[in-house]
Amino acid sequence: MDMNYDVIICGSGIAGIYTALNISSDLKIAIITNGKLENCNTYLAQGGITTVRNIEDRESFIEDTLYAGGNENNLETVRLIADEADENIKKLVSMGVPFNRDDHGNLLYTREAAHSKRRILYANDQTGKHIFLTLIEEMKKRENIEIFSEVEILDLIVSDGNSCGVLGYDKDKNILKFWGEKVVLATGGIGGLFKNSTNMRNLKGIGVALAKKHGVGISDVGAIQFHPTAFYDPQSERRFLISESLRGEGAKLRDLEGNRFVDELLPRDVVAASIEAKKKEIGSPYVYLDATKLKSDYLKVRFKGIYENLLEKGYDLAKDLIPITTSQHYFMGGITVDMDGKTSLDGLYACGEIAFTGLHGRNRLASNSLLEGLVFGNRVAMSINREIEDVKLKMYNVEVIQELPRNIDIEKIEEENRKLVIDEILKVREDLKDELSVN
């Protein structure tokens, strides 16, 4: 089946949806997601979304981002994010995202690891979910956006050095060809490739595979962040994240004898490494997170989702030490893009976790991911709006249609795509071989 659009967006997280909402309503848009709409990491995000509170906070934000990233960040990107954070956050607020406020209606801010001050907006401990649901409500108002759920992308369609569509299939194994003048890859992370991850299991780095197959630049595929505090459950592939905000509000990390062993608000990579070192030292697969000094009533409201989830697992956050371990959490590498989200292939953009902007350096600062998705989603949309002058689709070279195979082996292509991403990671991170689902 062939379908024609002006813009094709692969991914339904904050980057993909926000891109769609900022593209001109005159353009026909397809949003494709390989699961249900909510099967994205945005939906799982707990802690919050970073903002730059005022002019005085700008330099502090830049310094904190560089410090967390080991000064391996792209300074141009960091400054751009700092400069454009406020305008995009204000859009979310105007859409009605239910960020926490005080009794006078003022926005409240929390603090997480490596932030020197409180600058993180939050909606209890389900910030990503509330942002996602708000964006979905906005999208329902847009008649130019069509959603295709449970469609797996197999390949890009490329003609004469231009991206002009994507090849995929639906849950009934029907082959689908989406044709469009612009393609945006916002396919999320790579957690589904790992034996244990905080990510949705359907996220397997398909964007990197597509880029690699077509010679599109990729960068820093070995830059993979492990979150310090995921609930220790040896039976679960998707580990339940316990937000860094808990440590920002006073929770402590302890060994099995109850001793603290690390400053809980150091950058994530430092805290995660300390946890792994302590586990090895004491011969335990976990250490403890201790929030028992925080008031029970406060925990039940501020961290409602975490509290209830842990209660189902047999732990009372207000009374019990919680067994935690590190878990794969975020992909800081990805498809190389410029400041407008453009890749090295004409007509192809990338944004969100699958894109490499250079913002994060070797370690992402907490809650900068949602902000990056917003800022670059908006910049991708603005670039597309500038470049598409005629809403009528191009007439693509008929040869490209003839080049597409008539009999497509879905399983073979999917395995090739998965192997492409894993092989790229293992070229530079052989130490992760036991963590990846290589078979």
Over residues 174-214, the pLDDT tens digits come to 999 999 999 999 999 999 999 999 999 999 999 999 999 99
* CB-CB contact of 327 with 180 (8 Å): no
CATH number, residue 256: 3.90.700.10
pLDDT digits (tens, 9 = 90+) for 105-133: 999 999 999 999 999 999 999 999 999 99
Whole-angstrom Cα distance, residue 75 to residue 46?
Answer: 27
pLDDT digits (tens, 9 = 90+) for 28-62: 999 999 999 999 999 999 999 999 999 999 999 99
Q: Supply 351's token pair.
A: 């944004």
What's the average model confidence in pLDDT over 335-345?
A: 99
* Segments of 42-82 assigned E as strands: 49-50
Tokens 């005022």 correspond to what residue? 54
Considering the domain architecture, whether residues 199 and 95 belong to the same structural domain is answered as yes
With respect to residue 193, please indicate whether it lies within any of the assigned structural domains: yes
* CB-CB contact of 365 with 114 (8 Å): yes
Whole-angstrom Cα distance, residue 420 to residue 414?
Answer: 10
How far, CA to CA in Å, does 173 sit from each of 152, 156, 170, 289? Answer: 9, 18, 5, 45
**Domain tally, the chain:** 2
Residue 86 has pLDDT above 60, yes or no: yes
pLDDT digits (tens, 9 = 90+) for 155-174: 999 998 999 999 999 999 99
**What is the pLDDT at residue 231?**
98
Considering the domain architecture, whether residues 236 and 218 belong to the same structural domain is answered as no
With respect to residue 70, please indicate whether it lies within any of the assigned structural domains: yes
Domain boundary among 328, 345, 364: 328
Please state the φ and ψ torsions of residue 332, each to the nearest 5 degrees: -95, -15
What's the average model confidence in pLDDT over 282-289?
A: 98
Which range marks the domain in which residue 322 is found? 224-328
With respect to residue 439, please indicate whether it lies within any of the assigned structural domains: no
Q: Which residues pair with 155 in a beta bridge?
A: 167
* CB-CB contact of 227 with 233 (8 Å): no
pTM: 0.94
Is 406 in the active site? no
Question: Residue 88, exposed/middle/buried by CB under 10 A (0-12, 13-18, 19+)?
Answer: buried
Residue 379 has pLDDT above 80, yes or no: yes
Query: Considering 111, 268, 379, 418, which one is annotated as catalytic?
Result: 268
Q: Which residue stretches of 69-126 are H helix?
A: 75-95
Domain boundary among 328, 357, 374: 328
User: 3-state DSSP call for residue 361?
Assistant: coil
Considering the domain architecture, whether residues 92 and 181 belong to the same structural domain is answered as yes
How far, CA to CA in Å, does 43 sit from each of 55, 128, 133, 136, 394? Answer: 30, 5, 8, 11, 35
Domain boundary among 312, 328, 344: 328
